[in-house]
Each structure stands twice: as C-alpha cells, then as structure tokens.
Structure 1
Amino acid sequence: MNSEKRVERGLLNLLSEKSRKELLDAGKVKTLKKGEILFAEREEVKCMYIILDGFVALYRNSRYGEIKIIFICTNGEVLNEVVLQDKKTSICTKALADTQLLCVHRSEIYKLMADNTELSREIFDSLARKTRRLYHQVGNANGTYPIEKRLAAKIWKLARDYGNSTPEGVQISFELTVTFLANMLGAKRETISRIISSWKKDEIVIHENGFLTVIDMKSLKEISQ
C-alpha cells in the first residue's frame, strides 16, 4: 500500500516525537468495528478523536434522507476539530473498516495547546486542510464538470491515497459500493452504476464484492482531465 502517502497529512504523523507522545499520553484508545457510528449530528461530544489505524467517513444527512460523504479520514487525522469550539457535532461519522481511535478530552487539548505551540499550529493546519478540501468540493459541485470526469478523479485519488498494490491493479483499502460513490459525488446511483459497468468492460476497473480495483490508473487519469 502507498502507506507513506496515505498518512502524510495526518496530525499525529506531522508532530515531533515529543509532541506526539504528549498527545498519546493524554488520551485513551477507542475501537470501532466496521460500520459502527462514532457520533451523529447534534450529539454532545467532549473528546477530540484522532485515527490511529483505520478509515472513517464524515458525512451529513439531508432533510430528505440523502447522505453526502464529506471526507474520508485515515491514520493520524483528526475527525472533529470543531469540538474545541462547540460540544455539539455538526457531522456524522462511520467506520469504513475496523478502526482504532485516540480519544483526548477537550480540556486536555486546551492544556496541551497552551504549552505546545507545535500542537496548536498542527491543529489549525488540520482545519485549514479541511477548509481547502471543502472549497474544492464546492467548486466541483456546481455541475461544471461532467459526472464521468468527477467520478474518475475521485476514484483515481482514492486509489492513489488509500490503495494496495495487487496482481490485478491498485485496490482501494475499504469497501466502495456504488451507493457510497453516489453519496460522495451527490449523483444518482444508476448513473454511477452505468459508468462503472462501462469501465469494467473497458478493463479500467474491477468491482467485486464491494471492493474496487483500478486496473489502469493512466486511463482513469485521462478520463478525469
């Protein structure tokens, strides 16, 4: 797997050894099973959660019952920086695989930030990275780009960031159903299914048992451009 690329933006992986130890010592480990919900919208949460190992989806539910996947987070990344401002959550979380989390009470985070400028800077940087990703999502959500290009770009990036090398190609490390992809892109499930079926015939991807493998990264990249 491209593990170095996958974790390079995570808070824990960017801290010095000293700061990382202080943060780890201040928290406790929590385990989630695949499919388990950590918290839902408008719940009161008192801890900041950081992924030690695994994958978690951050998403919102619309008033019509539709799901919009906002982010996929992995090793070292913070799930809920907003706990420093408000205990009430504004997003839902779901484990995409068996996952271990570091849970640090927000009062402990405040204490650490008061004495550790490196930790403070990296938490602010974590928020800034999420903001930049949201800007990019908003830019892509206005219909400027055809859905096929958007889907190709999304799968290519997922394979690059979260892929395992296999004899068939690059397999994304967690289940990626047609419905999940549709929720990520705000598209109809039928549309995504049709495009994936076409790519399977062209031997660009394999989609079996919920897992997606990219056979031809180059072709997928070309479609996205």
Structure 2
Amino acid sequence: MSDLDPNTVRELFAAVPLFAADGDAVRGEILEQSQIIEPDKNEILFIQGAQASSLYIVLSGWVKLFRETGDGKEAIAGLCTHGDLFGEAVLYNDAVYPFGAQAASEAIILRIPAEIIRTRVREDGEFSTRLMREVGQRLKALELHMEHLTVMTAPQRVGCFLLKLCRGKNRRNINILLPYDKSLIATYLGMELATFSRTLVQLRDIGVEVDGPQVVIEDAGKLQNYVCQSCSLDIVSCHTDYLKSE
C-alpha cells in the first residue's frame, strides 16, 4: 500500500491523457481497484515473456522498456514518463509482455488489472477509441525515433532528446536536469557513452551548457532549427507541446 497522499495520486491520475476525460467518480473507481507502486531506480517491473496481467500508467519518474537478445545484450524499446502507458498486451487474452520494464529512476506507477481495462474496452467505445489513439501515438513515436537513428547526426539526436525535456518551459535560458543515467540516454540514442559526452561538448556552439546532470539551453529556437532540419515532422507539429509561446 502506498503512503502517498491520496489527493496527490488523484491529481497525477487526472492529468493522464487517457483518463483525463473521465469523471472523478470513474477515475476514483479505477484507483480503488488498482495498485500504486513506487519502484526504486533499476527495479524490474516485469520481464519479457511474462504473462500480461496489468496495464501500467506512469504518474511520475521514468521507466525503461527493453528486450534482451540470446547473447545477453539489451535493446531499449522505449522510455516512458508521466502520462505514458505500457503493457498494452493486456488487451489480448493469454498474451505475454513482448518486452521487459525497469524503473529508470524512482517512480510512481499505477498498475491497473487487465480485466478492468478489457471491460472498459468492451463497454465504452469512447474509451476504446482513446486507448487505440494512445497506442497509435506510441507507434508513431517509435517510427520517428527509428528515423532519427537513421538520418540524424549524433548532436541532432541529443538535441532532440533535450528539447523533449523542455515541455512547458519558456524558450530562452532553460534549466533542465537529465532524468536518468547518461549511459541509458546514450544507448537509447544509439551511441556509446563516450560519443554522448563528446556530443554534449559539440552542442556548446548552439548554446547548450552541461554540468553533470544540469543542462542550460540558451535559446531553444536555435536548437530547434539545428535539430529539426533533419526530421520529417515540421517544428510546429513536433514541439508545440514542449515549449511555451513567446
């Protein structure tokens, strides 16, 4: 049982896009039937191939989704933060998770039993549409990430990652913290840790200063222009949700 303040949990849950349109009563019922978990950094939530028994919603923190190869290597399938869901395999009877999940930082996660989700999908067409939209957006994000790994330079990939951490911030003199280990960021962006470190130095010419986990971006617009020239999405479509208008 979580020691979190119930009001805090309700506020975090109400801000999750998939459930934002539900009333307080509906969300309250879901919370009563679900479990709040607070994994420590690096704690395994489930392993690849395990029976899919719950849908997970990240309320705060970060979660790494990964696959393991036969020779023990690890491929990162995604990184989830507030509002993101994972474990969609629960939509299908007798399904297994196609990846493992591990807390990349301390986190607060809502674990919703499979039957609750399956019942909502069967009985609530509007919820089913919202859920399919969320899953579709995840797939589009994965496709875009694969595109970036193919066509972007290392500095552009790192710059794009930093821009996504600027959600809701002003465009100038942005202060952010790297949310998890640099080695994990490097792996996710398809580079060695040494390459990632060198790339951060290269970004100084575009107004990015790094001191440990602390990052200062002098002008996000300048960074956008540098990064987004090699992306198939236009700047407005991609970053409208990330930065406040001036």
| TM class, shorter-length | 0.7 to 0.9
1:186 aligns with 2:190: yes
Query: 1:128 Cα shift?
Result: 0.9
Residues 116 and 30 of structure 1, relative CA distance in 2, 3 Å threshold: same
Distance, in Å, in 2 between the alignment partners of 1:63 and 1:200 is 40
- Equivalent of residue 140 in structure 2, options 107, 119, 132: 132
CA contact (8 A) 2:155 2:200 kept: no
Query: 1:203 Cα shift?
Result: 5.2
Amino acid at match of 1:171: I
- Equivalent of residue 205 in structure 1, options 204, 209, 213: 209
- Equivalent of residue 221 in structure 1, options 199, 216, 224: 224
Residues 173 and 155 of structure 1, relative CA distance in 2, 3 Å threshold: closer
CA contact (8 A) 2:59 2:108 kept: yes
Query: 1:180 Cα shift?
Result: 1.6
Percent identical pairs in the alignment equals 21
Q: Tell me, what secondary structure is at the counterpart of 1:215?
A: strand
1:169 aligns with 2:171: no
Structure 1: segments with no counterpart, 5+ residues: 1-6
CA contact (8 A) 2:166 2:174 kept: no
Per-residue CA distance 1:121-162 (angstroms, 9 max, x = gap) = 222111111111122123223x322222222112212x223x
Residue correspondences, number = 212
Distance, in Å, in 2 between the alignment partners of 1:70 and 1:172 is 23
Structure 2: segments with no counterpart, 5+ residues: 1-13, 230-246
Query: 1:192 Cα shift?
Result: 1.6
Report the TM-score when normalising by structure 2. Answer: 0.73
Q: Tell me, what secondary structure is at the counterpart of 2:224?
A: helix
CA contact (8 A) 1:53 1:99 kept: yes
Equivalence for 1:28: 35
- Further displaced range: 8-17 or 192-201: 8-17
- Equivalent of residue 156 in structure 1, options 154, 163, 187: 163
Report the TM-score when normalising by structure 1. Answer: 0.79
